[in-house]
Amino acid sequence: MRPTAGTTLNSARKPQRSVLVALFGALVPLLAALTLMAPPAAARTEALPTATLTEVTGFGANPSNLQMYVYVPAAVTAHPAIVVAVHYCGGSGPAMYSGTEYASLADQLGFIVVYPSVTRASKCFDVSSPQALHRDGGSDPVGIKSMVDWVTATYAADTSRVYALGISSGAMMTNVLLGDYPDVFAAGAAFAGVPFGCFATTDGSEWNTACANGTVIQTPQQWGDLVRGADPGYTGPRPRMQLWHGTADDTLRYPNFGEEIKQWTNVLGVDQTPAATDSPVTGWTRTRYGATGDQAPVEAISLQGVTHNLYTYGMGARVLSFFGLTGGGTTPPPTTGPCKVTVTTSAWNTGLTASVTLTNTGSSPVNGWQLGFTLPAGQAVTNGWGATYAPASGAVTATNVSYDATIAPNASVTIGYQASHTGNSAAPTAYTLNGTSCTVG
């Protein structure tokens, strides 16, 4: 049983008054010193559990009521880098966490991942309002900046290594973040986005049809001025930008890719003529502007025949190489997986039938797919099932039909085609799923 206040006070009356006075006189300066040394309560922040996705509340200014999710790896480094991974329309922070590989890459490299999450009904980020398109304007970018500040304060993060990446709506927000806060972000990667300011509206609408359709065309200077106008007093260095887009994107159409290149080459003051052009993966065309290395000021990857749903596992390693977080300074080789293709053929004099089984060996569903392969010389597809095939010969892309568009983890779909041949009836030897190489066997 705890002693009552009266009991404590009565037992304290036994010492002589002079002793009490002396003790009190000694304690007062000691307590004052301890008070001065203790940090204010607001400055003390508890670290988060590691190796698990954790929601953080009360992280700072958050005018649009975003949610903040954070992944801290078990082997987080001292003064870690921060990667902000921004979800697509209809998504969420947890969906971005489970559907991309950045948490597992953080486990390897020790950086912290922030997953902002929209709470408005559309589940799309605000990339169109005047508030969103100005520094500290009072919309989503303010809340995301607060998330970065919270992680920086909690983990003494390296403020020179803060990065943003996003898919679709998140790609558009990546463009906005780099425009609004050029002093915060060192680089960004935008998968299927549009230029900063392209989606601007003044009527409260979240959608800009002209921009989505790729009909908003401006000069590099005009695009660059939009970015510079977001923080007009800023004169320091600008973040580098990596851009990804599929040529068959029918949601945010392909001309936006070229407009993004015009914008960021102008912002970064580099020539619009590529310093280097290559094809790191079949069907990809990569151009680099202002330099030829992995950390060029602007890097742009065009994916031939790929739709809006372009993101696949393996791209994350290329993003981190562009950011400079992989340490090796070289672009990783084309990633194999997470897919497997098994093919059997049956041939006769001038024709053949091929049965192709595509297995999702990854941990997330594939929602919409394109299987790329190159037919041997002399072969041409005459008909097919389970997919649409185009063109008939050479580098062929098989695109899902409505009933097999989704492939769950560890599930398979089987498609097939008939083809004519002039003597070589062999099956293709390599396949890519949405631009990423598959295991064949």
* Token pair recorded at residue 114: 């922030």
The candidate with the shortest Cα–Cα distance to 304, out of 272, 282, 333, is 282
**Contacts of residue 104, Cβ cutoff 8 Å, sequence gap at least 6:** none
**Contacts of residue 361, Cβ cutoff 8 Å, sequence gap at least 6:** 337, 338, 339, 340, 409, 410, 439
* Token pair recorded at residue 48: 């988060």
Helix (H) or strand (E) holding 34: helix 17-37
CA of residue 130 relative to chain centroid, distance = 24
**Contacts of residue 238, Cβ cutoff 8 Å, sequence gap at least 6:** 178, 182, 267, 268
Count CB atoms within 10 A of the CB of residue 433. Answer: 26
The candidate with the shortest Cα–Cα distance to 168, out of 222, 202, 130, 206, is 206
Helix (H) or strand (E) holding 244: strand 240-246
CA distance 341 to 354: 12
For 261: left if phi > 0, alpha if psi spans -120 to 50, otherwise beta; the answer is: alpha
Give Rg (Cα) of the chain. Answer: 28
Count CB atoms within 10 A of the CB of residue 367. Answer: 12
CB 191 within 8 A of CB 140: no
Where do we find the tokens 């801290």? 72
Q: Which residues are catalytic?
A: 168
CB 111 within 8 A of CB 118: no
* Token pair recorded at residue 198: 């392209």
- Sign of CA pseudo-dihedral 144, 134, 87, 288: negative
* Token pair recorded at residue 57: 């509340």
CA distance 157 to 177: 19
